[in-house]
Amino acid sequence: MIKAGIIGATGYAGAELVRILMGHRDVEIVWYGSRSYIDDNYAHIYGNMFCIVDAKCLDDNMEELAAQADVIFTATPQGFCASVISEEILAKAKIVDLSADFRIKDVAVYEEWYKIEHKSPQFIKEAVYGLCEVNREKIKDARLVANPGCYTTCSILTAYPLAKEGVIDMDTLIVDAKSGTSGAGRGAKLPNLFCEVNENIKAYGVATHRHTPEIEEQLGYASGKEVRISFTPHLVPMNRGILATAYAVLKKKVSEEEIKEIYDKYYKKEKFIRVIGAGACPETKWVEGSNYVDIGFQVDERTNRIIMMGAIDNLVKGAAGQAVQNMNIMFGLPEDTGLNLVPVFP
Amino acid sequence: MIKAGIIGATGYAGAELVRILMGHRDVEIVWYGSRSYIDDNYAHIYGNMFCIVDAKCLDDNMEELAAQADVIFTATPQGFCASVISEEILAKAKIVDLSADFRIKDVAVYEEWYKIEHKSPQFIKEAVYGLCEVNREKIKDARLVANPGCYTTCSILTAYPLAKEGVIDMDTLIVDAKSGTSGAGRGAKLPNLFCEVNENIKAYGVATHRHTPEIEEQLGYASGKEVRISFTPHLVPMNRGILATAYAVLKKKVSEEEIKEIYDKYYKKEKFIRVIGAGACPETKWVEGSNYVDIGFQVDERTNRIIMMGAIDNLVKGAAGQAVQNMNIMFGLPEDTGLNLVPVFP
Amino acid sequence: MIKAGIIGATGYAGAELVRILMGHRDVEIVWYGSRSYIDDNYAHIYGNMFCIVDAKCLDDNMEELAAQADVIFTATPQGFCASVISEEILAKAKIVDLSADFRIKDVAVYEEWYKIEHKSPQFIKEAVYGLCEVNREKIKDARLVANPGCYTTCSILTAYPLAKEGVIDMDTLIVDAKSGTSGAGRGAKLPNLFCEVNENIKAYGVATHRHTPEIEEQLGYASGKEVRISFTPHLVPMNRGILATAYAVLKKKVSEEEIKEIYDKYYKKEKFIRVIGAGACPETKWVEGSNYVDIGFQVDERTNRIIMMGAIDNLVKGAAGQAVQNMNIMFGLPEDTGLNLVPVFP
Amino acid sequence: MIKAGIIGATGYAGAELVRILMGHRDVEIVWYGSRSYIDDNYAHIYGNMFCIVDAKCLDDNMEELAAQADVIFTATPQGFCASVISEEILAKAKIVDLSADFRIKDVAVYEEWYKIEHKSPQFIKEAVYGLCEVNREKIKDARLVANPGCYTTCSILTAYPLAKEGVIDMDTLIVDAKSGTSGAGRGAKLPNLFCEVNENIKAYGVATHRHTPEIEEQLGYASGKEVRISFTPHLVPMNRGILATAYAVLKKKVSEEEIKEIYDKYYKKEKFIRVIGAGACPETKWVEGSNYVDIGFQVDERTNRIIMMGAIDNLVKGAAGQAVQNMNIMFGLPEDTGLNLVPVFP
């Protein structure tokens, strides 16, 4: 039985970790960390867990937690994990960090986009970027996994095969992404009130969103050259789901069959990636509650562009589900253990 | 391995049966019946099932199905099951009927409220009303289970212990219920369009809703006298969930502790009923996707009334989940097999 | 031109006052009071008012405001108006108070339900309860109008004619009310976050909601006897709208035609009350954005009860619209001036 | 008093025309045409109009209507207007056609994208494209105005000044648009059911949406060269609103101040276009119920692109509001008559 601790267990991503791990036969949660609710019953904060979780919230003492746990999930604000991580902790417990602290290899880029000083740059090199389908082999031996961002996971996986195969002109890549509101977290902020979000859609963080450099770095590795993209997130009046609509100019004339073959080359064996095919438009509702990424595309001969579309549940494949998938890989478990979550519809 | 067939597999309740049975280790679905989509790929109708269900829709030939299946779920319009059921079919396969055909013992009452002739009254007596927590023993040996309605399940379980113990004046019982829109089914009807339902609430079927006599009959058994209630359903702009707010005059002065004890007497050992206690208000979101019934209450000394509140997911405990729970009981399986569904939040 | 000042202009009710008064030919807003946003551009707080309102937010200095304005709307938390009102202010400007400070005639009842000390009980007697259709004559000469609560307006107007005519047994009256989320205000509180409200319904303030004594007092005047009701509010995932479903035992057998006649007796000439008739169920969406109250009903002979249903837009007839209607009456204007708002659908 | 007739008065756009014209002091509706509801009370189809509209639905006899009306609005499916229009009708009444029949000058392009034969190509040349802010002068004398599509209005107005001034490379223009569900009409279709749309987002009509050639044609006139764009519409779980996010490469380095000046050059005097400025993101809720177009933008120096964002209410500026604006221009009325609609928030 793997003993798991969660720091930030009362945020939406942390709560989703709890939900998923409740159904994971090989894991026991030993620590529900929540700085805001210390000593409160967890089920009092999340009523859905009444009669399911019988535990109180604890603080965020990573050292003590490392002594009790085999794996620590940090579902915490940027900067937390970097400020507390240590060789001593890593010697005792593996860490899956759901924040951005160890996602970006160039510390200057991190500090520029996140506007905070990185407190533990010495661990950046060791950290493995936990995009399971791309970095599976490296994750197996990792002590520290940087779990990708929600927009990032969706954007990269949608474009990855075509970037890797050199089919699209990376200088023309634009990702227009739409996210449910749980991505904004559970903080009591006016812009996230029901009446402000409901019946409304808006872009935000235009040309400045922090997931941009993360997408660029990873697609840069894939394409073998530096990548600069336009990335625009939008807030949609729904709880869960991210849809990424990506546009790129095709480098040469390719048929939809050829595109499908390229996707299949990389994803056919991937349980959690469903390429729904040419002319098909993924819907976020079809993946809700599950760890799936659904990908569709359309070649537009009129403009010589391809439009790629990817859909995920931001809290599952975009956060907690991928974190558990990473944990499974790190501990040598079948990758889908605890993740056979059938999408909930409607 | 239990072989299961579903007639009406492409309605919302049928699709929820598919979702739940996909996670049931002892069941294999052998028949996806759907008169509207014969020969279509099931995953084409429900995109969430892509790569999960690889089967085509079949017709609703119950005789052929009975030859192949151990259990048949009929998630069909009123009248269908009664029109096709036979001794021959029941000799081969158990039936869990999600329609109202066998819920009401008095065929005249059925025909009055449903405005259709009952084609198989000879099976009404044998049919067991599948409210698991109340009729568990009878369900064990049943060949034919009448799975309760969604409003009914929520309304009855919310009031049952107090009705049974004679604490409330049954002549004063009023149930004001609110339901998500999936309860209206997947038919393409104007009143169920997004723009008609969204940002709107209304009552419907006031004093005439078909679940009324079902609630009355069952609460009549509980209280030992004939019961007449006011039942008002409302349509709420959300996909899933039913909240029943029930009002009754208390027959004598009772404390909230005493009420809690009564609920505990009946429900403490019930895995799927969570009595959240005095002064607590259940929320439909806390049970979404799960088989739970959450119950809270408030004694109002000013008016000498008790306000009882119950919440379920209409597609799970109100339909497919309870159907699987009934199947588990009928086949001697642990009652929660395949039903350890943690509520999804948010 | 009537000069109007608004204290609390950046709450949802205050903003709705601004929206309505922008279309009122006889009113000019001279003061946008908002303690939280002093010196901010109003259109910066409410982007919908860009290019429409060109003014900065001011403080809540009622004395200074009274010197500049003919009428003051206080759309403020409980206790504010009572703490600042004075004879001097009332000598200069009329006040329409949207808070509860002057709604309840018995100061002890006010203090018990609101848990705050009333700072100006000397003005309670003078204050006129601003339920326009009931107290029109008194409002004409009022200096201080207590604008009714949103739930209250809907509940009282729905039951008023039948209470007044003695058709229903007031001891059996139960009001089950459902409200959109704007009723909870614009405060940044966790329970009002999009992800907490969306796809969810719950009761709250069961048997303790502060609008209860207000409904009881007014229906007591109507029926000529003390009234105790059960009132249960619910939070619905929509921005606007209140639906009140009210239940009462009929004192004698009456036909639906007779009930209709009673409603017509009181409301036929009322522009803002639309009795949609027997068997008809009002929908909140049909009144959205307007000052209408839609009322339907159903006599249930089985239980000898009547089910009455009323729908309003909580921010219009339940707050700002009725406040403007009161102002119109106070200033001798046609009652519907600025209130010819056609409901927005969908 | 202008006498107006509406064909298609029971669709969402037609109903919005009714709502707006109810507040237009110079217009009287004399004909509520609705093939589906002939002889039904209009207020029975749209409950919001109870006590406001007292008329029955009529058929779609344009000749008879032309004899009675000064202006006819055809809010009808593609092909209808072209199939009934005649010189005789145009001699009696002006027509504002809300369908696409007369929007595209090249009949071959129309027939290719709409897959129907154009029945009255002889009127295409005469028809004026009713994008008021661009074609105002021509509209003044028009007998037949082709009211622009909803996506089109939003997309064109968002990019128009920069296209006209040659600031952006038109070959790189991509419009990613998001629409509320009322744009899909009031037809009872499964994909538009509440449970299918709610909590979901998807693209549709990728690279094939019919508004594409309309946008291309108009931006072609603006930029003086043939334009090919990528246009991707998305369905968003909200009733109203379109947000267009447009991307283009800048032809040369320009500051945000310069961009703002360009927008101001074209729009500063336009009442219905609000340029909210650099770095500002328009929200659909800020324009809901009104005729405004809100435009914001962001220059991204990293990618040398500009991201332009425009928001409208699809039923107002995207349909009925613009239709009334066109009518006002055609009849020499102040352009904003009946259109001083303050956006409704929340």
Tell me the angle at which helices B321-330 and B132-140 cross, rounded to the nearest 10 degrees. 30
- Tokens coding D113: 């994208």
- Residue C174 and residue B247: Cβ atoms within 8 Å? yes
B274 touches chain A (CB under 8 A): yes
CA-based Rg of chain C, rounded to a whole angstrom?
Answer: 19
Give every CB contact of residue A103 below 8 A, 6+ residues apart in sequence.
Answer: A110, A127, A129, A146, A148, A149, A152, A214
Distance from CA of C164 to the nearest CA of A (A): 37
Comparing CA positions, the residue from B210, B205, C343 lying closest to residue D23 is C343
> Over chain C, what is the mean pLDDT?
98
Kindly state whether A240 is in contact with chain D, defined as any CB-CB distance less than 8 angstroms: yes
Helices (H), B187-279: 194-197, 211-223, 256-267
Q: Sort out which chain D residues have CB atoms less than 8 A from B238's CB and list them.
A: 198
The stretch A109-137 carries a mean pLDDT of: 97
CB A33 within 8 A of CB A60: yes
Of A48, A292, A345, the CB nearest to B343: A48
HSE toward the beta carbon, residue B251, CA cutoff 13 A: 12
Which of B172, B281, B282 has its CA nearest to residue C209? B281
Contact present, C232 and C173 (Cβ < 8 Å): no
Distance CA B260, CA B277 (A): 7
* Residue A346 Cα, gap to closest chain B Cα (Å): 6
CB contact A190 to D (< 8 Å) = no
Instruction: Determine if the peptide bond prior to B237 is cis (ω within 30°).
Output: no
Average of per-residue pLDDT across C129-140: 98
Structure tokens given for C30: 């001279």
Are C344 and D344 inside 8 Å of each other by CB?
yes
Per-residue DSSP letter, A248: E
Neighbouring subunits of A (3+ Cβ pairs under 8 A): B, C, D
Structural element, H or E, at residue B228: none
Q: Which residues have C-beta within 8 Å of that of residue A234, sequence separation ≥ 6?
A: A176, A177, A178, A179, A201, A202, A203, A204, D178, D243, D245
To test the contact with chain A by mutation, choose from D245, D249, D302, D305 the residue with the greatest count of A C-beta atoms within 10 A, namely D245
Mean pLDDT of C62-76: 97
Distance CA C318, CA C147 (A): 9
Residue numbers of B annotated as active site: 150
| Per-residue tokens: B186 | 């997947």
Cβ contacts of A216-222, under 8 Å, gap ≥ 24: A217/A104, A217/A105, A217/A106, A217/A109, A218/A129, A218/A131, A218/A134, A218/A148, A218/A152, A218/A156, A218/A160, A219/A156, A219/A159, A219/A160, A219/A163, A219/A170, A219/A173, A222/A134, A222/A156, A222/A160, A222/A163, A222/A164
Which of C117, C101, C132 lies closest to C214 in space, CA to CA? C101
Q: Is A169 on the interface with B (CB under 8 A)?
A: no
- The pLDDT value recorded for residue C176 is 98
Task: Write the residue in D188, D189, D239 that is nearest to B198 by C-beta.
Answer: D239
Beta-strand pair A293-300/A273-278: parallel
Which of these, C344, C245, C331, C233, lies nearest to C287 by C-alpha position?
Answer: C344
Mutation to test the D interface, candidates C48, C264, C281, most D Cβ within 10 Å: C48
Residue of A325, A94, B254, A195 lying closest to D346 (CA atoms): A195
Instruction: Answer whether C194 sits within 8 Å of A199, measured CB to CB.
Output: no
Q: Can you give the pLDDT at residue A1?
A: 95
Distances (CA, A) of B78 to B54, B84, B121, B259, C301: 29, 12, 14, 37, 26
Cβ A204–D309 below 8 Å, yes or no? no
Give the model's pLDDT for residue A213: 97
pLDDT-above-70 percentage for chain A: 100
Bridge partners, residue D292, by sequence: none
CB of C129 within 8 A of CB of C135?
Answer: yes
**Which listed residue (C150, C154, C195, C281) is catalytic?**
C150
* Closest partner CB to A51 (pick from B46, B51, B274): B274
pLDDT in tens, D10-27: 999 999 999 999 999 999
What residue of C is the nearest CA neighbor of A180? C195
Which chain D residue's Cα is nearest to C339?
D23
Nearest-neighbour CA in chain D from C146: distance (Å): 24
Q: How far is CA B153 from the centre of its chain?
A: 5
Cβ neighbors of A96 (< 8 A, separation 6 or more) are: A71, A72, A73, A74, A130, A145, A147, A323, A326, A327, A330
User: Which residues of D fall within a CB distance of 8 Å from C199?
Assistant: 199
Residues of D with a catalytic annotation lie at 150
Contact D198 B238 (CB under 8 A): yes
* Residue A150 annotated to the active site: yes
- A279: closest CA of chain D, how far (Å): 8
Angle between helix A256-267 and A150-164 (nearest 10): 120
A191 in D contact zone (CB under 8 Å): no
Is D193 in the B-facing interface, judged by CB distances under 8 Å?
yes
- The closest CB to that of D282, out of A202, A247, A282, belongs to A202
Chain C touched by B158 (CB under 8 Å): no
Residue A115: phi and psi, rounded to 5, are: 60, 30
Q: Is D218 on the interface with C (CB under 8 A)?
A: no
| Chain D residues in contact with B345 (beta carbon < 8 A) | none
Confidence of residue A145 (pLDDT cuts 50, 70, 90): very high
Contact: D194, B12; criterion CB under 8 Å:
no
Residue of C nearest to A196 (CA): C194
For residues A116-139, average pLDDT: 98
Report the alpha-carbon distance of residue B198 to residue B200 in Å, rounded: 5
Q: Token digits for C11? A: 């709450």
Cα(C76)–Cα(C97) distance, rounded to whole angstroms? 8
DSSP string spanning A162-204? HHHTT-B-GGG-EEEEEE-GGGG-S---GGGBHHHHTT--EE-
Q: Scanning every residue of chain D, which has its alpha carbon at the shortest distance from the alpha carbon of C277? A: D50
Cβ atoms within 10 Å, residue B220: 16
Contact (CB<8Å) D182/C346: yes
**Is the Cβ of B135 closer than 8 Å to some Cβ of chain A?**
no
Among chain B residues, the shortest Cα distance to D195 is held by B239
Confidence of residue C179 (pLDDT cuts 50, 70, 90): very high
**Inter-residue contact A13 to A98 (CB < 8 Å):** yes
Radius of gyration of chain B (CA): 19
Distance of alpha carbon B335 from alpha carbon B321, whole angstroms: 11
Which pLDDT band holds residue C60 (cuts at 50, 70, 90)?
very high
Q: Which of B47, B287, B342 sits opposite A286 (nearest CB)?
A: B47
**Alpha-carbon gap, residue D226 to C15, rounded angstroms:** 46
Q: What is the mean pLDDT of residues C1-10?
A: 98
pLDDT, average across residues D60-81? 97
User: Do C342 and D23 lie within an 8 Å CB cutoff?
Assistant: yes
Chain A interface includes D282 (CB < 8 A) = yes
* Best D37, D46, D195 residue to mutate vs chain B (most B CBs within 10 Å): D195
Query: In this complex, which chains have at least 3 CB pairs below 8 Å with chain B?
Result: A, C, D
Check if the beta carbon of residue B74 is closer than 8 Å to that of residue B96: yes
**What Rg do the C-alpha atoms of chain A give, in angstroms?**
19
Mutation pick from D155, D202, D236, D304 vs chain A, by most beta carbons of A within 10 Å, is D202
A22 touches chain C (CB under 8 A): no
Q: Which residue, B189, B170, B172, is CA-closest to B181?
A: B189
Contact of C170 with C227, CB cutoff 8 Å: yes
Digit-by-digit pLDDT tens for chain B (346 residues) are 999 999 999 999 999 999 999 999 999 999 999 999 999 999 999 999 999 999 999 999 999 999 999 999 999 999 999 999 999 999 999 999 999 999 999 999 999 999 999 999 999 999 999 999 999 999 999 999 999 999 999 999 999 999 999 999 999 999 999 999 999 999 999 999 999 999 999 999 999 999 999 999 999 999 999 999 999 999 999 999 999 999 999 999 999 999 999 999 999 999 999 999 899 999 999 999 999 999 999 999 999 999 999 999 999 999 999 999 999 999 999 999 999 999 999 9
| pLDDT of A277 over the 90 cut | no
C121 in Cβ contact with C136 (< 8 Å): no
pLDDT at D277 over 90: no
Residue given tokens 């609710």 in the structure block: A37
* Residue of chain C nearest D291, judged by CA positions: C48
8 Å CB contact of D12 and B195: yes
Could you tell me how many residues make up chain A?
346
- Model's pTM, two decimal places? 0.98
The predicted pLDDT at position A149 comes to 96
Quote the radius of gyration of chain D (alpha carbons, Å): 19
- Which among A190, A195, A239 has CB closest to C239? A195
Comparing alpha-carbon positions, the chain A residue that sits nearest to C46 is A196
Contact list, B189 vs chain D (CB under 8 Å): 188
Cβ–Cβ contact B256 with C under 8 A = no
- Is D211:D268 a contact under the CB 8 Å cutoff? no
Distance from CA of D292 to the nearest CA of C (A): 9
- Among residues A57, A81, A150, A154, the one annotated as catalytic is A150
Distance from CA of C257 to the nearest CA of B (A): 17
